[in-house]
Amino acid sequence: MEVQDFLELFRKYLRTRGLYDTRARERVAAALFRSPGHVDAATLGHRLRQEGSPAAPATVYRTLELLVQAGLARKFVWNDRTLYEAALGRPHHEHLLCTRCGRIAEFHDAPLEERIAEVYEERGFRPTSHQVLLFGICPECSGE
């Protein structure tokens, strides 16, 4: 999926809600989608500044929140860090976090997802989203 397609979806979301399609919002959205992996709000703001298209922290936060609500971004918190990642064009995945080096690895596991779906059903919860965080020591760190 291209940045343009992503932006188009964001525009559509804004339109259907009567919200404005502004430059600041497009910049923040584009910056997020161009970011591989995860970013926090401060880093995103920093990148925008470097690109010569700064956005106020408040705007970054407000836009990221919009993107999450639109289903175009995911938000997750680890170790006091609030991270965002683009949610489209990237398959759903969970995270493996190395507590020694801080590396974050992604993985997808079908049986795990299936079991999660079953848990939802058994408990009578209607699923909206979920997140699995596996903390451990990565091969590199435990091998040395």
Q: Which residues bind its own copies (CB under 8 A)?
A: 77-78, 80, 82, 96, 98-99, 105, 107, 109, 111-112, 115-116, 118-120, 123-139, 142
Which CB atom, from 22 or from 142, has the smaller least distance to its own copies?
A: 142
Q: Which two tokens stand for residue 50?
A: 């470097």
Euclidean distance between CA atoms 119 and 116, whole angstroms: 5
Binding DNA (rule: CB under 7 A), the pick from 2, 16, 23, 126 is 23
Q: Are 72 and 86 a contacting pair, CB within 8 Å?
A: yes
Which CB atom, from 23 or from 126, has the smaller least distance to its own copies?
A: 126
The entry of its own copies, DNA, none that residue 111 binds, CB within 5 to 8 Å by partner kind:
its own copies
Q: Are 85 and 71 a contacting pair, CB within 8 Å?
A: no
Q: Are 68 and 75 a contacting pair, CB within 8 Å?
A: yes
19 binds DNA (CB under 7 A): yes
The entry of DNA, its own copies, none that residue 24 binds, CB within 5 to 8 Å by partner kind:
DNA
Euclidean distance between CA atoms 71 and 111, whole angstroms: 24
Segment 35 to 54, residues that bind DNA, using CB under 7 A = 40-42, 54
One-letter identity of residue 9 = L
56 binds DNA (CB under 7 A): yes
Euclidean distance between CA atoms 26 and 51, whole angstroms: 14
Euclidean distance between CA atoms 74 and 129, whole angstroms: 10
Binding DNA (rule: CB under 7 A), the pick from 82, 88, 96, 105 is 82
The entry of DNA, its own copies, none that residue 54 binds, CB within 5 to 8 Å by partner kind:
DNA
